[in-house]
Structure 1
Amino acid sequence: VNVMVSKESVRARMEDREIGISYTEFSYMLLQALDFYHLNKETDCELQIGGTDQWGNITMGIELTRKKSGKQAFGLTMPLITKSDGTKFGKTESGAIWLDPVRTSVYRFYQFWIRTDDRDAIPYLKFFTFLKQETIEELTQNQAQAPEKREAQKALAVAMTDLIHGKDATREAQRASDILFGGDLDGITEPTFNEVLGEVPTTQVASQLLQQDGWPLPDALVEAGLATSKGQARKDIQGGGANINNVREQDPKRCLKPQDLLFGSHILLRKGKKHYAVLTFK
C-alpha cells in the first residue's frame, strides 16, 4: 500500500479533496501488475508495452514478477498519442476500436479513420501508415487547399484497413461507405449492407403493404420520416429529390413492390443528397 500511495498520480489525487480517487482507480495498478505476472508465469511473456501514463503500473508488474518468481521482466513505454482536443487516441463514444473484426467490424474500423479530425489526419498518416513521405506531403498540400474533399482521411482509412484487414475487406468497407453517398447497390453483399443499417434510421413495416398494387412511394416517404406529408412527398419526387435504393424516382404514382426489396426485406430510401432511411419489411 505504501508503494501505491507513493505514486505521484495517486498522491496528487488524494491531496485534492475536490477530485479524490476511487478504490477502483487506486487498486487498478494491482490488477495490471497481477496480470503481467500471470502472463509471465503462464506464457513466458517478458515485455509489457504501454503509454507513458502506464509506467507506474508496468514497473509494479515487473517488481511483482521478480519477487514472486525471481524472473526478470521488462517494460517499454512510449508517448501517448492524443487527439487535437487533448483526449486519448482510440477512445470513442461507443468504446475502444479493436483490431479484431468481431469486436469492431471492418466497416466501423474504416469509418473510425474516415471521421478523423482535419487537424489529426496528417499526423496519423505519419504515425500509423507506411505511405511515402512524398505522398504524405502531397496529401498535406491537398488538404490545405481543399479540406472538404477529405483526401487525407480517405488515404488514412484505406491504408489502415488494408494493413489490418486486407484489400478485399477494404473494398467492401468502401462500398458500404459509398452507399450513403449515392453509390450503386449492384453486387453489394448482405453483410456490407447490414453495416449501413446501423448508420441510418430504420423503420419496420408490414410486408403486406407491398402486395397487390404495392405501397405508394409518397406514403413510404412519410412513414420513413423523410417527408412531413404526402403532398410534400409528391413535390419532392417530382423535383427529383427522391431515390429508391439509390436510383432516382420522379413518378409520384410509383409504388414499392416486392421486386424493390434488398435481400428480401429492405428498401433504402433517400431524400436529397444526405437524408436516408431504411424500411425493413416483416
Structure 2
Amino acid sequence: MIFGPSLDAEPCLSSAFSLQESAQPVAPLILASPHSGRRYPALFLRQSRLDLLSLRRSEDAYVDLLFRAAPQLGIPLICAEFPRAYCDVNRYAWELDPGMFRERLPQGALTNTAKVRSGLGMMARIAGPGKGIYRHQLPLSEAHARIATCWLPYHEALEALIARCRARFGVCLMLDLHSMPTLPHLRLPDIVLGDLHGTSCGGEIVDGLAGMLSARNLSVGRNRPYAGGYITARHGCPSDNVHVIQVEIGRNLYLDELSLEPSPGFAAVQTTIEALLPDLVLLAQKLVKSPACVSPNL
C-alpha cells in the first residue's frame, strides 16, 4: 500500500474524484470521502508560502483507504482527489474571503460566515493558526477554475449517485466520511456522528450506526463538536428519503498526527471498518423494507 501525497506535474487536476461503484449495488448505501484527496497541483504549491506537510494538515488523511474494501461488497465509494486546502467541497461554492482576491467577488457570495472569518472558506486562507497559505492575492479566475474543475464535478457526481440510489431502492443512506484531530482542550470520543441535530437523518438510523460502533468497543458521540457541514445540509433530506450522516473518526486511532504517516493502529482500524461494512449493508437494506419508519421526526 502506498501512502503520501501526489504532486501534479500540470497546474490542473486531471480528475476531480475517484468513484468505485457496482453495476448491482447491494443496498441503498453510499460512502463519500470529500477531504482525503492527496493530489497537489504544482501551481497551488507555487502560490503557497507553506511547505507541503503544513498544507496536508487539513487533510482527512487516508480515510479513503480505511474504507477501500467497500466497493468489493457492492457499496459505492466516491473520494475527492484534490486536497481540502485547494478546494473544500464541504462549503458553499462562493463561501470565500474577499481579502484573498484582487477583484470583487460576485453578488451572492457568502463573505461573512463563521467559516470564512476563521479562514476556512471553500478556498482556505489558512492551514493552521497563523499559517496563511498564499504569498499574494489571487485572481478571481482562480476561484472560478476550482469551482469548475473540482467543486462542481464532485457535487454533480454525488447527486447522480444519490439519484441512482433512490431510483433503484426508493431511499438512500449516505455516510460522509471525515477524520478529526486531537484537540488539547477537549476530550473527544473515538467517533462523532453528525446529523445536524436530527434534521439530516432519521433517528433510528443514527441509533443503529451508533450501536454498531459501540459494539466494536468504539466510543461514540453525536453532533458535538461536529454536527455536519454543507454536504450534510445540502444532501440530507429525510422527508425525501435521503439520509446523510457525517462520520468523524479520531485521527489518533490510526494516524501519527505530526508526520501524517499511518500509525501502528491503522491496520486495526481498517480491519474494524471492513468487519463493520456488512452490518452497514444490513442497516441500509432495512430502509427498503420500511422507509416510512425513518421519518425525520424520529
Shorter-chain TM-score: what band?
Answer: under 0.3
Q: Which is helix-richer, 1 or 2?
A: 1
Q: Which has the larger radius of gyration?
A: 1
Greater RCO (Cα-Cα under 8 Å, separation 6 or more): 2
TM-score, length of structure 1 as denominator length: 0.25
